[in-house]
Structure 1
Amino acid sequence: MSRTFPSPRALARRLNPFRRPGLADPAALPAFAVPAGQVRELQSPEAFRATLLDLIAGAQQRIVLVALYLQDDDAGREVLEALYAAKQARPSLEVEVYVDWHRARRGLIGKDRSEGNAAMYRAFAERLGPGVTVRGVPVQTRELFGVLHLKGFIIDDAVLYSGASINDVYLAAQQRYRLDRYHLIRDAALADSMAGYVRTQFRDSDAVQALDRRPLPVTRELQPAIVRFRQNLAKAQYEVPVASRGEGDVLVTPLAGFGRSDNLLNETLLGLLHGARRRVVLFTPYFNLPRPVRAVLGQLLRRGVQLDIMVGDKTANDFYIPPTQPFTRIGLLPYLYEANLRRFARLHQAQVTRGQLNLWLWRHGDNSYHLKGMLIDDEVAVLTGNNLNPRAWALDLENGLILRDPEHLLLPQHLAEWDRLRAHATRLDDYHSLESPRAYPEEVRKLLRRLSRVRLDRLLNRLL
C-alpha cells in the first residue's frame, strides 16, 4: 500500500474525535489585555472587504494574510492587485499570503480540471515581479484528510479576523454574498503573536512551498517534510503573556488547534461550554456537531441553560443545488446536515417547545451562510473559523480568539450582531417544520438510502 495513503486503522484513529478529552480551564488562559474600544465588529461582507483593502493600502510594515484560499476571480484579483500596489509604494513592506496547498492547486469542485489558483499567483508574479509571496501550506498529504483552516489577516498592528476566505462571494463583489463574522482588533502585541506563529510554523518549514513558481513539487516529494510539519503543528501554540486586565480592557487569547489529541482549542471550547451558567449562542454553518460538543450541550439543557443555535437553511448552504440545475453528488450535503438537525430537534423537542432550546434557520435570498463561533453568558465571545464539526475537531488546522469581557463592554456589539442575524432567521417551533427526508428529491433519497445501507453517511459526516 502506498505510504501516502493511511491504513484503515490509521484512518479510523484520525477520524475518531470521540476520545473523552480534558476540559481546559478558560479562566487560567494567558491573554492580551486589549482596550475594549480597540475591538470592533464589522457589520457586513462589504464592510469586511472595504476594511481589508483600506488596511492593505495603508500598510507600513507588514501584511500577513492566512486563509483557506485566495480565489482566481474578481475579488481575489482585486486583493492581489492591492497587495502588489502596496509593495510597490513601500518596497520595505513585508507581504506574505498563506493558503492551503491542496486547495490552491485544483479547480473548483464540479468544474473542469485546472491548475487552480496557483496559475493566477504565477501570472501575477511574472507580470509584476517579486515581492508578494504566496505560499501553500500542506497540513496533510491529501486534502480529504486535513486542510489549512487557520484564519486571520495581520496588517501592521491590526488583526482582521473572520472565517471567510477571499473570493467574490465572501467579499460580496458580485450580486451574492456568503455571510460570515468579521472583527477588527487593533493591538500590537496580539498582532505580533499571530504573525510570530505564522513565521515560526509556516515560513520556516520546508513543507510550505511558494506557489508562484513552476514547476511545483508533487505532494509525494514533500511527504517527509509534511510529517515533520504535522509533528510541529501538534505542539505549536501562540506566545501569549500572562496579562492583568485593567478597567476598560477585555482579555483576548489566540489559540491554535490541530489533531484529535491534546487539542487546546477543542478543550477550551468544551471548557467554555461546560462552564456556561445562563445562556449559550452557537453558530455553525453545517449542523454536524462532534460527539463531545453534543454531549456538553445535552448537559447544559439538563441544567436549564438556554441554548440558541443558528445554522443556515439547507438552501443557504454552499453546496445546495437548486432543483432547476443538474444534480451532482456534492449536492447531497445540505440534506445530510438538515437530517442531522431534524434528529437533534426531535430528540430535544420538549426543550424546543418550552423555549429553552431555540434552533434558528438563516436564509436571505440566494445568499449563503458561513458563521462560526459562540457567545456565552454575555461575558465570553469565541471568534473562530472552526465549523464545530468532526473534521474541524480532528483533521484540519484551526484557530480562534477567545474574548473574555467581565464588564460586558462588548455586549452592545454582540446584541446588535444577534439582532441583525435574526432579521433573516426563522425559529423552528417543531422538528416537523423541517422537510421530511421522504419529501427530498428522488436523487437525494436514492443516495441517502444507499449510504445508510452501508453506514457511509456517518463517515461522510466526519469527513465533510
Structure 2
Amino acid sequence: MNSLLHQFADWAAPFSTGVWLLALDWVIRLAALLWIPTRTTPAAARSWLLLVGFLPLVGLPLYLLFGHPWLSRERVRRQALASEVIRAEQAPHGALRWSPSGSPDGSGAAVEMVPLVERLGDFMPTHGNAVELLDDYDASLRALLIDIDGARERAHLLYYLLFDDAVGEAVCQALERAAARGVHCRLLLDAVGAKRGLKHYARRLRAAGVDLQVMLPGGLRWRRSGRMDLRNHRKLAVIDSGAGYVGSQNLADAMFVRGFPNRELVARVQGPVVAHLEGVFASDWYIETGERLQVKPVPVSSDANVAMQLLPSGPAYPFGNARDTVNALIHLARHRIVLTTPYFVPDDATLSALRIAALSGVEVQLILSASNNQRLTAWAQDSYYDELLASGVRIALYRPHFLHAKHLSVDDDIALVGSINLDIRSFALNAEIGLLCYDREVVARMREVEADYLADADTVTMEQWRRRPAWRRSREGIARLADSLM
C-alpha cells in the first residue's frame, strides 16, 4: 500500500508544480491589473499590463524597479523647500519682472505662458537679459572654457554627461586652473550619464579642490534617491554672475557616440536670468547634498533687454512642467511652430496638440534627425508619422549629423531652448531645464538655425511613407507599445 502511495505521489508531483505555477501566473496578472493602473498613467499602465500579461514572472520585477517614477520623500521635500526659497528670494526684485502686456514682444501667447511657467517652475520672467545662440559645437565649448578661465569667484557646472576624451580633459584642466586661482568650483554630474568621466576624473578633480557631487547615485544607495532609471538630464553652467549656459550640449567631443557626430544648440546668457540659472544649480546641489548655497545678488541688467523665463522640470515637481509647457505652446501657436528634437515619442496629449494645431491651419514643422543612436526609440518614433502627416504636420529628417539640439519657436514671439526632448522620458522621468525667450530677434535667430537644418533635410511625404514595407510597420507598432517605458 505504501508503495502505491509513493508511486502516486511521484506521478502527481509534476502536476502539482504545474498547477502552482499556473496559479502564481494568474495571481500576478490579477494583482497587476488591480495595482498598476492606480500608480501610473493609462498609457504607461497599458504597456506594463501587456508585458506582465505575456511574461508575468519577468514583467512584475521589471515594474517594481522601473514602473513608477517615484522619488524618495526626502528629495521631494527638498525640492518643495527649494521652490519656496526661490520664490521668496525673487520677491525683492520686482523691478526686474517683465510683463508681456504692453510690451512690443508680448504676444497673446506670452500673456498666457508667463503665469503658467511661473506657477509650474517657480521663476518669474525678467527683462534686461542678453542671449547668444551658439550652434557651432566647438565654438560653444571654447566660449565655456574662456569663461571658466576668466572666473574670479565661482564656476558652477551641472551636466548629464562628462566623457573621458579631449573635451572632458579640457574642461577638467580649466576647472583645475580656476580652483588653483581660488575660484570656488562646483561640479554636479549625473551618475549614469557621466559614468566614464567620473571614473576617469573624479579623484583628480577632488584632489585639485573642485567640489564634485554625483547626482542620483545607484547601487545600494538607490533607495535614498528614487527609481533606478530616473536621471538628471540638465546641462547648464554659471560663471560668477556674468554668464550662464543652457542647452543640449554635453561635456564631450561631438563624436562621443561613434558614427553619430552631434549637432547642438546652446544659449549663452547674461543678465538677471544668470541668477535664476544659479538658483536651479543650488536647488539640485541642495537636493543631492543637503547643503544650502548662497546665491549671489542679481547681476546688472544687459542693454540687450531680452525677456526670459526659466523652466526647470522633473519628477520632484508636482506637475509635468515640460509636458504642460510644450503642449501649451503648441495650442497657443497661431501661425507657425517649429519643433526640433532628436527623440520624438510623444504622449497622447502632445500628439493631440500637434494634430489639432495642424488641422486648425497652423504650420507645424517637426525637424528630427535622420540618424538615431537609440534604435527602439527610432522605431517607435516612426510609428507616429502616418497620423501626423495625415493631419498636415510637416516632417523633415536632418541628414549631416545626429541632430541632438532641443528647441522650438512659436510664431515670431517665443523661443524655447534647453535639454527637453519631445518624449515621455523627458516629460516624466528626467530632470530637465528650458529657457523661454519672449523676443522677436531671438526667434528670428532661431529661424535661421532652423532654416539651416531644413536646407540639409529630407522631407517625409505621405506617398513615400506609405510605401514602406509591411514588416517595418509591424516593427514600429510593436516598438510603440513600449513608448511609456522608454
Q: TM-score, normalised by structure 1?
A: 0.70
Unaligned runs of 5+ in 2: 1-30, 46-109, 119-123
Q: Please tell me whether the aligned partners of residues 414 and 443 of structure 2 are also in contact (alpha carbons under 8 angstroms).
A: no
Matches within 5 A, 1:11-410: 13-14=39-40, 25-28=112-115, 29=118, 30-35=124-129, 38-88=130-180, 90-91=181-182, 93-105=183-195, 116-125=196-205, 129-138=207-216, 141=222, 145-156=229-240, 157-169=242-254, 177-187=261-271, 189-203=272-286, 205-206=288-289, 249-259=305-315, 261-313=318-370, 316-319=371-374, 331-338=375-382, 340-345=383-388, 348-349=389-390, 351=392, 357-364=393-400, 367-405=401-439, 408-410=440-442
Counterpart secondary structure, 2:409: strand
Cα distance in 1 between the residues matched to 2:323 and 2:290: 25
Structure-2 change in CA distance of 1:273 and 1:170 (3 Å): farther
Cα pair 2:44 2:484 within 8 Å, conserved? no
Determine if contact 1:361/1:426 at 8 Å carries over to the other structure.
Answer: yes
Seen in structure 2, the aligned counterparts of structure 1 residues 248 and 84 have a Cα distance that, compared at 3 Å, is closer
Greater mean alpha carbon deviation, residues 77-86 or residues 24-33 = 24-33
CA distance in 1, matches of 2:306, 2:351: 29
1:43-82 deviation digits (Å, cap 9, x = unpaired): 3112112111111111122211111111122221221112
Residue correspondences, number? 371
The residue identity in structure 1 corresponding to 2:414 is V
Return the letter of the residue paired with 2:482.
Answer: L
Bigger fraction of residues in helix: 2
Q: What per-residue deviation string (whole Å, max 9, x for no partner) do you get for residues 241-287 of structure 1?
A: 9xxx9996321111111238523333222222221111110111122
- Say if 1:77 and 1:246 are closer, same or farther in 2 by CA, change over 3 A: closer
Whether the 8 Å contact between 1:145 and 1:463 is mirrored in structure 2 is no
- Cα offsets for 1:349-368 (capped at 9, x unmatched): 362xxxxx32111011xx31
Matched residue, 1:232: none
1:430 matches 2:462? yes
Structure 2: distance between partners of 1:293 and 1:402: 19
Determine the C-alpha separation between the residues in 2 that align with 1:162 and 1:198.
Answer: 14
Bigger CA radius of gyration:
2
Secondary structure at the counterpart of residue 155 of structure 2: strand
Cα-to-partner distance string for 1:161-201 (whole Å, 9 max, x where unaligned): 111211122689x99630121211111x2222221232234
Offset of 1:395 from its aligned partner?
A: 1.1
Distance in 1 (CA, whole Å) between partners of 2:384 and 2:296 is 38
| Shift of residue 240, structure 1, vs aligned partner | 12
Identity among equivalent positions (%) equals: 20
Q: Aligned in 2, Cα 1:387/1:13: closer, same or farther, shift over 3 Å?
A: farther
C-alpha distance in 2, partners of 1:55/1:312? 31
Greater displacement, 146-155 / 303-312: 146-155
Q: Structure 1 255/17 Cα, relative in aligned 2: closer, same or farther at 3 Å? A: farther
CA contact (8 A) 2:338 2:364 kept: yes
- Of 260-269 and 39-48, deviating more is 260-269
Q: Which amino acid aligns with 1:393?
A: F
Distance 2:302 2:178 in 1: 36
- Classify 1:53/1:275 alpha carbon distance in 2 versus 1 (closer, same or farther; 3 Å): same
Which of residues 408, 418, 442 in structure 1 aligns to 2:450?
418
Query: Quick one: which amino acid aligns to residue 166 of structure 1?
Result: L
Distance (whole Å) between structure 1 residues aligned to residue 429 and residue 155 of structure 2: 28
SS class of match (2:232): coil
> Which digits, 9 at most, give the CA deviation of each residue in 1:201-237, with x for residues without a partner?
42464479xxxxxxxxxxxxxxxxxxxxxxxxxxxxx
Shift, 1:134, TM fit: 2.3
| Cα distance, 1:85 vs structure 2 | 1.6
C-alpha displacement of 1:25: 3.2
Distance 1:370 1:152 in 2: 16
> Matched residues in 2 for 1:404 and 1:150: separation?
21
CA contact (8 A) 1:45 1:180 kept: yes
Q: Cα offset for 1:372?
A: 1.3
SS at match of 2:193: helix
Q: CA RMSD in A?
A: 3.6
Q: Distance in 2 between matches of 1:434 and 1:79?
A: 47
Local SS of the residue matching 1:165: coil
Query: How far is 1:297 from its partner?
Result: 1.2
Cα distance between partner residues in 2 of 1:395 and 1:74:
30
Q: What's the TM-score once normalised by structure 2's chain length?
A: 0.67
Change (3 A) 1:424 1:143: farther
On the 8 A contact 1:179/1:370 being kept in 2, the answer is: yes
